[in-house]
Amino acid sequence: MKKILISLTAFLLCIGLVKASPIDMEYNDGIYHFVLSGDKIKKQMKFISSPNLITNKEAHTKSGSLLTINTGFFDPNNQKTISYIVNDSQTVEDPIFNENMMANPVLRQNMNKILNRTEFRVLDCDSKLKYEIAQHNSKVDFLCSIVTSAQGGPQLLPNLRLEEEFFIVKDSEGNVIRESASVLHKTARTLIGIKNLPNQKQETHIFIVTNEHPMDIIEARDLCKQYELDTAMAFDGGSSTSLNYKKINVVSTQKSGDTGRALKSFMIIQPK
């Protein structure tokens, strides 16, 4: 009887350890859903960029990451960023140095909207880390500083910011006359959001929406609502949507056997 009790206790402890894992994943109907929980994983999260475009799998392997997803927008023609990236408290990618953006008259007229698109941040607030989703120009709270961040967009929750972030343009009658990032069309999506829990705890939720279940941005917003996230945003999607976790390698390019689109920036989870 004593041996049985010891075995049962060990089994229950193992279950507890599995439940306490900081990275939890489920897959359903073409959607990968990750939940990152606990304070320790905030120290492991990092946003990185590459001087030359590389695949998500290459970034995953080179960094030794536990989990890697694609993040910011970029220009494949000159391999320069369209999104701000901060790493180790330093801005490592700044879109104002992308000459293609600055030379485009339409983009230049809407530069304030583009540069202020939504970003995901890890903040150091008096030696305590916390997550935040906010517009790039929004100031952080007193005693807080940005440790690492990646810009994308649009913001999904609490409010959908399509026009404010120059993802759609409407004419005087309310008709959409310009669309960016296929926001109104069904495609693969990379989404990230925050759920605030009691006692100032937080979870980060990541959705990799594959070509098996493509979504427009309204459906993406509703998916985040379904999981009762407080704030949420999109990263680059479509053919950029990528995931590497354990033996899972997701790419959203259509060609069979493709290794995935070459990308500019990534979110990685470093080993402890």
Express each pLDDT in 134-187 by its tens digit.
Answer: 999 999 999 999 999 999 999 999 999 999 999 999 999 999 999 999 999 999
In whole angstroms, give the CA distance from residue 71 to residue 48.
9
Task: Report the pLDDT value the prediction gives residue 19, as an integer from 0 to 100.
Answer: 52
Confidence of residue 255 (pLDDT cuts 50, 70, 90): low
pLDDT tops 80 at residue 58 = yes
Task: Report the pLDDT value the prediction gives residue 258, as an integer from 0 to 100.
Answer: 76
pLDDT tops 60 at residue 8 = no
Confidence of residue 4 (pLDDT cuts 50, 70, 90): very low
In whole angstroms, give the CA distance from residue 126 to residue 164.
32
Percentage, residues of the chain above pLDDT 70: 91
**Rounded mean pLDDT, 53-76:** 98
pTM of the model: 0.92
Our CA angle for 97, 98, 104, nearest 5°, is 125
Nearest one of 64, 87, 83, 85 to 74, comparing CA atoms: 83
Token pair 């279950």 in the structure block, residue: 15
Nearest one of 229, 245, 238 to 263, comparing CA atoms: 238
* 20-24, 60-64, 73-77, 206-210: least confident range: 20-24
Taking the CA of residue 203 as centre, how many other CA atoms within 13 Å lie in the half-sphere pointing to its CB?
21
Give 229-245 pLDDT, tens digit per residue: 999 999 999 999 999 99
Task: Report the pLDDT value the prediction gives residue 103, as an integer from 0 to 100.
Answer: 95
pLDDT tops 90 at residue 7 = no
- DSSP calls for 163-216: TTTTSEEE-TTS-EEEESTTTTS-B-EEEEEEEE-GGG-EEEEEEEE-TTS-B-
pLDDT tops 60 at residue 91 = yes
In whole angstroms, give the CA distance from residue 46 to residue 56.
14
pLDDT tops 80 at residue 219 = yes
Give 100-135 pLDDT, tens digit per residue: 999 999 999 999 999 999 999 999 999 999 999 999
In whole angstroms, give the CA distance from residue 132 to residue 145.
11
Task: Report the pLDDT value the prediction gives residue 221, as an integer from 0 to 100.
Answer: 98
Mean pLDDT over all residues of the chain? 93
Our CA angle for 189, 194, 199, nearest 5°, is 165
pLDDT, greater one: 194 or 2: 194
Percentage, residues of the chain above pLDDT 90: 89
